[in-house]
Amino acid sequence: MSQAVATGRTTTQDFSTWRRLRGWITNPWGKPRFLVVVTWTYIVWSIAPVLVAIQFSFNNSRSLTVWNGFTTKWYTSTSPDINSVFHDPGLRGALQQSMKLAFLDVVIATPIGVLLAIGLARWRGRGSGGANFLMLFPLVTPEIVMGVSLLLLFSHLLTAVPFGTPAQVLGHVTFSISYVVVIVRGRLFSIGRSYEEAAADLGASPPVALYRVLLPLLLPAIVASAAIVFAISIDDFVISQWLSNGANTTTVPMTIYNATRATPQPSTDGIATVIMVITLAAVIAGVLVFRFFTRGEHGRGSAIDDVAGFGI
Amino acid sequence: MAGEVKVVDLVKRFGDVTAVDGINLNMPSGEFFSMLGPSGCGKTTTLRMIAGFEQPTEGQILLDGDDMAFTPPHKRNVNTVFQSYALFPHLSVYDNVAFGLKRQKRPKSEIRERVGEALELVQLRGLEKRKPAQMSGGQQQRVALARALVLKPAVLLLDEPLGALDAKLRKQLQIELKALQQQVGITFVYVTHDQEEALTMSDRIAVMSEGRVEQVGPPQEVYEEPTTTFVADFLGVSNLMTAQAHGGSNGRCRVTVGEFELYAAQGDTATTGDTKIVIRPERVHLEPHDSSGENRVPGMVERVVYLGNANQIITGLANGDKIQALVQNTGQELTYKQGDPVRVYMPADALRVLTDTGTAPIDENAVPGIPSPAAREPLAGEGSPNVSV
SS3 sequence, B311-380?
Answer: EEEEEEECCCCEEEEEEECCCCCCCCCCCCEEEEECCHHHCEECCCCCCCCCCCCCCCCCCCHHHCCCCC
Which of B95, B99, B130 has the highest number of chain A CBs within 10 A, making it the mutation to test binding with A?
B99
Residues of A with Cβ-Cβ distance to B151 under 8 angstroms: 202-203
**Are residues A200 and B52, on separate chains, in Cβ contact within 8 Å?**
yes
User: What is the model's pLDDT at position B3?
Assistant: 85
Q: Do the Cβ atoms of B385 and A217 come within 8 Å?
A: no
* CA A103-A221-A296 angle, 5° bins: 135
Give dist(CA B300, CA A166) in Å, integer: 90
| Facing B73 at nearest CB: one of A200, A212, A297 | A200
pLDDT of amino acid B364: 40
Q: What is the mean pLDDT of chain B?
A: 86
Whole-model pTM over 0.80 = no
Contacts of A208 in chain B (CB under 8 A): 103
DSSP B133: G
Torsion of CA A60, A64, A66, A70, to 10 degrees: 30
User: Regarding beta strands B352-353 and B5-14, do their DSSP bridges make them parallel or antiparallel, or are they unpaired?
Assistant: unpaired
Residue B16 Cα, gap to closest chain A Cα (Å): 14
Q: Which residues of A touch B131 (CB under 8 A)?
A: 296
**For position B97, what pLDDT does the model report?**
95
> Which residue in B88, B97, B147 has the most chain A C-beta atoms within 10 A of its own C-beta, making it the best mutation to test that interface?
B88
Candidates A88, A112, A140; CA nearest to A267 is A88
- Give the count of Cβ contacts less than 8 A between chain A and B: 74
Distance CA B359, CA B124 (A): 47
B46-68 per-position pLDDT tens digit: 999 999 999 999 999 999 989 98
For B314-339, the pLDDT digits (tens) are 999 888 889 999 988 888 888 888 88
Q: Measured between alpha carbons, how far is residue B246 from residues A53, A275, B11, B264, B317 in Å? A: 97, 92, 38, 11, 21
- Choose among B53, B100, B133: nearest Cβ to A202: B100
The stretches of chain B forming alpha helices (DSSP H) are 43-51, 93-103, 108-121, 137-149, 167-184, 195-201, 219-224, 229-234
Beta carbons of B284 and B323 less than 8 angstroms apart: yes
Listed range (A107-121, A171-185, A278-292, B24-38) with the worst mean pLDDT: A278-292
> At B244, is the secondary structure helix, strand, or coil?
strand
User: Would you state the pLDDT for residue A13?
Assistant: 54
**A142 and chain B in contact, CB less than 8 A:** no
Q: What is the pLDDT of residues A204-216, one digit of tens each?
A: 999 999 999 999 9
**Residue of B51, B75, B89 lying closest to A297 (CB–CB):** B89
Q: Do A197 and B88 touch (CB under 8 A)?
A: no
The full DSSP string for B105-131 is T--HHHHHHHHHHHHHHTT-TT-TT--
pLDDT of residue B216: 94
Using a CB-CB cut-off of 8 Å, the residues of chain A touching B78 are 201
Q: How far apart are CA B63 and CA B58, in angstroms?
A: 16
Q: What is the mean pLDDT of residues B73-102?
A: 92
Mutation site, A201, A219, A289, A297, interface B, largest B CB count within 10 A: A201
Tell whether A204 is within 8 A of chain B (Cβ).
yes
Helix B167-184 to helix B108-121 angle, to the nearest 10 degrees? 130
CA separation for the pair B100, B118 (Å, rounded): 12
In whole angstroms, give the CA distance from residue A95 to residue A29: 51
Chain B nearest-CA distance from A186, in A, is 15
pLDDT at A81: 75
Q: What is the dihedral of CA B127, B150, B389, A116, to 10 degrees?
A: -80
Can you tell me the mean pLDDT for A36-62? 88
Using the Cβ of A300 and the Cβ atoms of chain B, whether some distance falls under 8 Å is answered with: no
Task: Considering only the beta carbons, identify the residue of B52, B75, B133 that sits closest to A297.
Answer: B133
Mean per-residue pLDDT over chain A, rounded: 81
The dihedral through the CA atoms of B106, B110, B112, B115 has a sign that is: negative
pLDDT for B333 equals 81
Q: Do A202 and B131 touch (CB under 8 A)?
A: no
Contact A239, B139 (CB under 8 A): no
Residues in A closer than 8 angstroms to B133, CB to CB, are 296-298
* A199 neighbourhood in chain B, CB within 8 Å: 74, 88, 99
Map residue B191 onto helix, strand or coil.
Answer: strand
Helices A252-261, A89-122: inter-axial angle, 10-degree rounding: 130
What CA–CA distance (Å, rounded) separates B89 from B77?
Answer: 24
Reported as a pLDDT band with limits 50, 70 and 90, residue B146 is very high
B272-279, strands of its sheet edge to edge = B260-264, B252-257, B239-249, B272-279, B352-353, B266-267
> pLDDT tens for residues A6-29?
444 445 555 678 887 777 777 777
Do A209 and A194 meet the contact criterion of CB atoms below 8 Å apart? Answer: no
Instruction: Give me the sheet containing B155-159, strands edge to edge.
Output: B78-81, B155-159, B187-192, B32-36, B204-209, B212-217
Q: Rounded mean pLDDT of B194-207?
A: 92
Q: Hey, is the C-beta of A120 within 8 angstroms of any chain B C-beta?
A: no
Short-list B146, B88, B92, B140, CA closest to B115: B146
Look at residues A307, A299, A165 and name the one whose alpha carbon lies nearest to residue A231. A307
Of residues A295 and A256, the one with the higher pLDDT is A256
Taking the C-alpha atoms of residue A268 and residue A54, their distance in angstroms, rounded to an integer, is 10
> Which H or E run contains B19?
strand B17-27
Q: Per residue in A134-193, pLDDT tens?
A: 887 888 888 888 888 888 888 888 888 788 888 899 999 988 999 999 889 888 888 888
3-state SS class at A71: coil
Kindly tell me if the per-residue pLDDT of A82 is higher than 80: no
B341-365 pLDDT, tens digit each: 999 999 999 999 887 655 544 444 4
Render pLDDT for A238-285 as a digit per residue (tens, 0 to 9).
Answer: 999 888 887 788 888 888 888 888 877 788 888 888 888 988 888 888
pLDDT computed for residue B116 by the predictor: 93
| Pair A239, A171: CB distance under 8 Å | yes
Chain A closest-CA separation from residue B145 CA (Å): 12
Q: A71 or A225: whose pLDDT is higher?
A: A225
Q: Which residues of B touch A (CB under 8 A)?
A: 51-53, 72-75, 78-80, 82, 84, 86-90, 99-100, 103-104, 131, 133-134, 147-148, 151, 385-386
In this prediction, residue B104 has a pLDDT band, given cuts at 50, 70 and 90, of very high
B86 CB neighbours in chain A (<8 A) are 194-195, 197-198
pLDDT tens-place string over residues B248-299: 778 888 898 888 889 998 888 888 888 889 999 999 999 988 888 889 999 9
Is A296 at the interface with chain B, CB within 8 A?
Answer: yes
Length of chain A: 312
Band (A31; pLDDT cuts 50, 70, 90):
confident
B103 vs A245: which has the higher pLDDT: B103
Residue B69: per-residue pLDDT: 81
User: Kindly report the CA angle at B356 between B350 and B361, in degrees rounded to 5?
Assistant: 90
- Greatest CA separation for chain B: 80
Instruction: Give residue B104's identity as a one-letter amino acid code.
Output: Q
Of the two residues B202 and A265, the one the predictor is more confident about is: B202
Asked if the model's pLDDT at residue A1 lies above 70, the reply is no
Quick check: A166 and A150 in contact, CB under 8 A? no
Percent of chain B's residues with pLDDT above 90? 46
User: CA dist A257 to A7, A73, A98, A213, A273, Å?
Assistant: 68, 22, 14, 46, 14
pLDDT of residue A124: 67
